C-alpha cells in the first residue's frame, strides 16, 4: 500500500534523527507499554519495545523509574484483508495526550511493524520535548527610590514688605530623597515700588533668597498639598525721590518663612502650583529722610509679617 510505504519511509528518517539526538541525551523518563497483538503475524509487545528503545537509544519501557505516561495500543485484523493498529498515549493521570490509527490492506500484518514503532517512538520523544514548568526568576533587590527634583517659575504679590501691594517674580527649585523631606530654594525679585509724600519719598526694590524644608502632606496622582518652613535673606534697595542731592541705601534683613502649597497636574510632569505664604523679617524695615529742620521724616515702615500669594508652573522629574 503506497500511503503506508510513504509513512514508513518518512518515519524511519525521523526515527534516525531521533536516535542520533537521543544517543546524546540524558536517560529518558519511564513509559509503560500496554500492547496487544490480536492477529497472527503482528508485532508483539517484546519486539515492539525492543524496536522503540533501539531507535531512541535508551531504555524507556524497562526503566526502574515510575512511568510518567502510558502507551496503550493494539493491532488486529479487519475485513476485507486488512490490518489496523490503534495507539493511544496517556499521561500518568490517564488523560489522553495523543492518538494514532494506522491501516494496511492486502499486505501482511508485519508491514505495520515499522510504522507502529515509529509512531510510538515519536510520541515518547515528544514527551521529552515538553517544556518544563516555568521558573519564576528571583526578584532582584529592590532599588532605592531615586532623587526627586522639581523646578518652578511664576509671579506673585506681597503686602506690607514694600509700599502698597508689590508684585514679584520667582524661581524655585526643590529636591530630595523620598525618604526625607525635600529642600527648596526660592528666589524672588520685586518690581520697583514707590512711596512719595508731598513730592518727597523713595523708590524701593527688593530681592530675596530662602531655603526651607517642604514635606508633602497629600500626594495624589493629579494633585498635591504641602507645607514649607525655612529662613532666608532679603535685600532692599532705596533711591530717594525729591531730595536735593539725592540719596540711596541698601539694607540686608534676615527673615523666617512659612507657606502652604497646592499643586494640580496639567499634563505629564507639568503642574500648576499655588503658594500662600508669609515672610517674617527678623528686623522691621524702616526708611526715613532728614528734613531741613533736622528732624526725621518717616517714608515707609515694613509690617511685622508680609503675606504673599504666588502662582506658577512647576515641572517634576519622574512624574
Beta bridge partners of 259: 228, 277
Predicted local confidence at residue 124, as pLDDT: 85
Which pLDDT does position 133 carry in this prediction? 47
What is the rounded distance in angstroms from the CA atom of residue 253 to the CA atom of residue 236? 8
CA–CA distance from 247 to each of 70, 251, 316 (Å)? 108, 14, 45
Given this model, what pLDDT does residue 42 score?
A: 92
In this predicted structure, what is the pLDDT of residue 232?
Answer: 94
d(CA 83, CA 115): 12
* Per-residue pLDDT in tens (0 to 9) along the chain, 319 residues: 444 443 444 444 444 444 434 433 444 578 999 999 998 889 999 999 999 988 888 888 877 778 888 999 999 988 777 899 999 999 888 888 889 999 888 888 988 999 999 999 898 888 765 444 444 455 555 555 578 899 999 999 999 888 888 999 999 999 988 778 999 999 999 999 888 877 777 888 899 999 999 999 998 888 999 999 999 999 988 887 766 656 677 889 899 999 999 999 999 899 999 999 999 999 888 776 666 666 666 777 878 889 999 999 999 886 5
**Alpha carbons 239 and 14: distance in angstroms, whole number:** 101
Type and span of the H or E element at 19: helix 2-24
Query: How is domain 148-316 classified at the architecture level of CATH?
Result: Beta Barrel (2.40)
Look up the pTM and report it.
Answer: 0.52
Q: What's the confidence (pLDDT) of residue 97? A: 85
Q: What is the pLDDT of residue 217?
A: 92
Distance CA 23, CA 276 (A): 81
Q: What are phi and psi of 77, to 5 degrees?
A: -85, 150
Question: What is the CATH code of the structural domain delimited by 2-129?
Answer: 3.40.50
Bridge partners of 176? Answer: 148
- The ranges assigned to domains in the chain are 2-129, 148-316
Q: What is the pLDDT of residues 265-296, one digit of tens each?
A: 999 899 999 999 999 999 888 776 666 666 66
Amino acid at each position: 500500500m503506497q500511503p503506508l510505504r510513504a509513512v514508513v519511509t518518512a518515519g524511519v528518517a525521523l526515527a534516525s534523527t531521533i536516535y542520533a539526538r537521543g544517543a546524546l541525551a540524558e536517560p529518558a523518563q519511564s513509559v509503560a507499554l500496554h500492547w496487544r497483538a490480536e492477529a497472527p503475524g503482528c508485532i508483539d509487545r517484546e519486539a515492539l519495545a525492543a524496536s522503540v528503545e533501539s531507535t531512541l537509544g535508551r531504555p524507556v519501557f524497562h526503566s526502574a523509574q515510575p512511568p510518567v505516561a502510558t502507551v496503550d495500543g493494539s493491532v488486529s485484523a479487519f475485513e476485507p484483508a486488512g490490518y489496523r493498529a490503534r495507539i493511544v498515549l496517556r499521561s500518568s493521570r490517564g488523560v489522553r495526550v495523543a492518538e494514532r490509527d494506522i491501516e494496511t490492506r492486502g499486505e501482511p500484518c508485519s508491514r505495520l511493524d515499522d510504522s507502529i514503532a515509529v509512531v510510538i517512538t515519536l510520541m515518547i520523544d515528544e514527551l521529552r520535548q515538553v517544556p518544563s514548568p516555568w521558573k519564576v526568576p528571583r526578584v532582584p533587590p529592590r532599588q532605592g527610590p531615586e532623587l526627586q527634583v522639581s523646578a518652578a517659575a511664576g509671579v506673585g504679590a506681597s503686602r506690607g514688605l514694600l509700599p502698597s501691594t508689590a508684585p514679584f517674580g520667582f524661581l524655585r527649585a526643590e529636591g530630595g530623597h523620598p525618604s526625607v523631606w525635600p529642600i527648596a530654594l526660592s528666589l524672588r525679585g520685586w518690581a520697583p515700588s514707590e512711596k512719595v509724600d508731598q513730592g518727597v519719598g523713595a523708590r524701593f526694590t527688593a530681592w530675596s533668597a530662602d531655603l526651607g524644608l517642604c514635606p508633602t502632606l497629600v500626594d495624589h496622582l493629579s494633585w498635591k498639598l504641602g507645607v514649607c518652613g525655612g529662613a532666608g535673606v532679603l535685600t532692599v534697595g532705596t533711591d530717594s525721590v525729591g531730595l536735593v542731592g539725592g540719596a540711596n541705601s541698601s539694607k540686608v534683613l534676615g527673615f523666617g518663612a512659612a507657606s502652604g502649597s497646592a499643586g494640580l497636574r496639567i499634563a505629564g510632569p507639568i503642574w500648576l502650583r499655588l503658594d500662600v505664604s508669609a515672610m517674617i523679617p527678623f528686623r522691621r524695615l524702616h526708611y526715613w529722610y532728614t528734613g531741613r529742620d533736622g528732624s526725621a521724616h518717616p517714608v515707609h515702615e515694613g509690617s511685622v509679617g508680609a503675606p504673599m500669594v504666588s502662582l506658577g508652573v512647576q515641572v517634576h522629574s519622574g512624574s
